[in-house]
Amino acid sequence: MDSVQQVQEKIAALEAALRQTAFDVLNESRSYDQAARLLKLAESLKELESEFAKVMHPPSPSEDDEGCTWWGKGYPRFCIRDDRLVKEAKGKKSVVPYTQEVDHGGFDVVVNWISQHAQAAWQMTDMVEELSGTVAGYKPYAVVGALGEAGLVRRVKRGSYRAVSEVSAEDWWALLEAGPIVAPTPPEVTESTFEDDIPF
């Protein structure tokens, strides 16, 4: 089934390339119409990826809602199924949910990156860029989304996150696998909190 994952990664890469092209078109020629059409194509690729996943992994009795303990308020929602982190979400204009899956190995790659940057807040874009040769671009977002729902990662400000230090990253998979998540709420992290942490 590695070929299935490769196809999903190629679709995700093409979607990302279309979004980047739309951004470039908007910056260079200010053609809003052309950029909007490119973004619409990118969105349809996201739906294609979801449909492809459904065809290649049709739900079985153990994979339906009763067999998967979902957590998350509405969409996106998450569960661990067949040693994979599963994210189910809806696009902004779509009523049909799409599914993204991250295998345990991909999860570990993202968590290791977070562990290496655990001393301070980190940027999501930095993670995606640094891991781009290792995991598909959607996987870090899926993992961080699940960890955020579980209270293991906190959003500091838009695009900036920080791991909760009370729980070891080595235990994150087991906590998610146990689902549904009932994590302790750590104190709110703010930029002023970071200033207090600097030893001068």
Q: Is the pLDDT of residue 190 over 60?
A: no
pTM: 0.57
Dihedral Cα 45, 99, 134, 158, nearest 10 deg:
90
Per-residue pLDDT tens over the stretch 104-133:
999 999 999 998 887 788 899 999 999 988
Residues 6+ apart with CB under 8 A from 17: none
Residue 23 near residue 36, CB atoms below 8 Å: no
What is the domain partition of the chain in residue ranges? Answer: 1-58, 65-200
Reported confidence tier of residue 13, pLDDT bands at 50, 70, 90: confident
For residue 63, pLDDT beyond 80: no
